[in-house]
């Protein structure tokens, strides 16, 4: 029967059945494999779900907080960076301005330096020429070096004294103008005060008692006043005139108590003089002879004369300021 089935009409069905059984076995194995893979994937899904829950429940808030802190730090750093940029820009502008100003100052100093160098070169050249000329003059005059140096020192002292005398004369002129204006203003305000103002002016000009006492005190103010009155008179010219000296003026003061002065008139005073003349008030002003020698016998005497003249000038200026303040008050 079996042999017949192998070669009989049932053989086809038997082969098909065997093939189907093999296919069923293969499919069962495939199903088992897929089932094992499904189990694996299910385990993985469960693991990933647990991990997601852990991340979402535990790590996510910490990460969000960390993100917020990081964002705040980033914002602070950006703001600080912007502030630093602005400060650096301001500093850069200031440094640029300072550099430009320093450059200009350096250019000015360079120009001044060049000018000073040229002036120094001119001065050195002029000094060399002067030294050469002085040497030639010394040889022509037959003077020694010490005598030539002493001569030059005396000439320099005379020039300085002439300059100081000119300044004193200018100050006295300004003071006299201010006193005249103050006197006119006082006469306009108080008609009966003209005689008192003239006495004040006389007291201002008569200062020998304030500057010193004795013969030296009489000598030095006279020389100082002569220097102020004769502002354009040179020292050598005044010394060579041969007129009355300081000693004669001092002897006149000691003997008679006053100087030989010409009468004074204010014909050239203008409107102020006319107003004073109509009021009937005289304005005595001291005149000093122009022939008085302004130099003393030694350099110490010259310095004393200059100091006393300057002291008198300062005293007069202070008195003038006091008068002006009293008039304003």
How confident is the model over 118-144, as pLDDT tens digits? 999 999 998 898 888 878 877 887 777
How confident is the model over 272-298, as pLDDT tens digits? 444 444 444 444 444 444 444 444 455
The mean pLDDT value of the chain amounts to 71
pLDDT confidence bin for 191, thresholds 50/70/90: low
pLDDT confidence bin for 97, thresholds 50/70/90: very high
How confident is the model over 230-266, as pLDDT tens digits? 443 333 333 333 333 434 434 444 444 444 444 444 4
Q: What is the pLDDT of residue 85?
A: 94
| Phi/psi-derived region of residue 252, left when phi > 0, alpha when psi is between -120 and 50, beta in every other case | alpha
* Domain edges within the chain: 105-139, 167-328
Task: Give CA–CA dist 42/325, Å, rounded.
Answer: 115
Q: What is the pLDDT of residue 219?
A: 41
**Which residues 6+ apart lie within 8 Å of 236 measured at CB?**
158
Task: Give CA–CA dist 122/209, Å, rounded.
Answer: 49
Q: What is the pLDDT of residue 60?
A: 80
Pick 200 or 136 by higher pLDDT: 136
Q: What is the pLDDT of residue 7?
A: 58
Q: What is the pLDDT of residue 321?
A: 83
Give the residue-averaged pLDDT of 292-312. Answer: 63
pLDDT confidence bin for 300, thresholds 50/70/90: low
How confident is the model over 32-88, as pLDDT tens digits? 999 999 999 999 999 999 888 888 887 788 888 888 899 999 999 999 999 999 999
The pTM for the full model equals 0.29
Task: Give CA–CA dist 103/184, Å, rounded.
Answer: 57
Task: Give CA–CA dist 125/96, Å, rounded.
Answer: 43
Q: What is the pLDDT of residue 101?
A: 93
Q: What is the pLDDT of residue 248?
A: 42
């Amino acid at each position: 029967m079996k042999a017949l089935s192998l070669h009989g009409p049932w053989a086809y069905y038997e082969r098909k059945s065997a093939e189907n059984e093999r296919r069923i076995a293969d499919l069962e194995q495939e199903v088992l494999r897929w089932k094992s893979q499904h189990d694996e994937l299910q385990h993985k899904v469960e693991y990933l779900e647990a991990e997601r829950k852990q991340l979402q429940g535990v790590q996510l808030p910490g990460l969000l907080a960390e993100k917020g802190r990081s964002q705040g730090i980033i914002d602070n750093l950006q703001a600080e960076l912007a502030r630093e940029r602005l400060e650096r820009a301001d500093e850069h502008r200031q440094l640029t301005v300072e550099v430009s100003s320093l450059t200009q100052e350096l250019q000015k100093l360079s120009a001044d330096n060049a000018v000073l160098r040229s002036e120094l070169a001119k001065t050195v050249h002029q000094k060399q020429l002067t030294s050469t000329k002085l040497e030639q003059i010394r040889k022509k005059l037959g003077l020694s070096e010490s005598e030539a140096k002493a001569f030059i020192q005396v000439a320099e002292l005379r020039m300085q004294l002439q300059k100081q005398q000119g300044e004193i004369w200018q100050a006295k002129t300004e003071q006299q103008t201010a006193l005249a204006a103050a006197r006119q203003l006082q006469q306009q305000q108080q008609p009966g005060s003209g005689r008192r103002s003239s006495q004040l002016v006389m007291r201002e000009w008569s200062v020998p008692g304030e500057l010193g006492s004795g013969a030296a005190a009489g000598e030095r103010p006279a020389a100082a006043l002569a220097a102020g009155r004769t502002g354009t008179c040179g020292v050598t010219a005044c010394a060579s005139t041969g007129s009355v000296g300081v000693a004669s003026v001092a002897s006149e003061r000691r003997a008679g108590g006053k100087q030989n002065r010409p009468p004074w008139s204010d014909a050239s005073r203008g409107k102020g003089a006319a107003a004073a003349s109509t009021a009937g008030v005289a304005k005595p002003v001291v005149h000093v002879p122009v022939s008085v020698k302004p130099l003393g016998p030694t350099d110490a005497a010259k310095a004393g004369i200059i100091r006393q003249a300057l002291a008198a000038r300062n005293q007069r200026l202070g008195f003038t300021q006091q008068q002006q303040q009293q008039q304003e008050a």
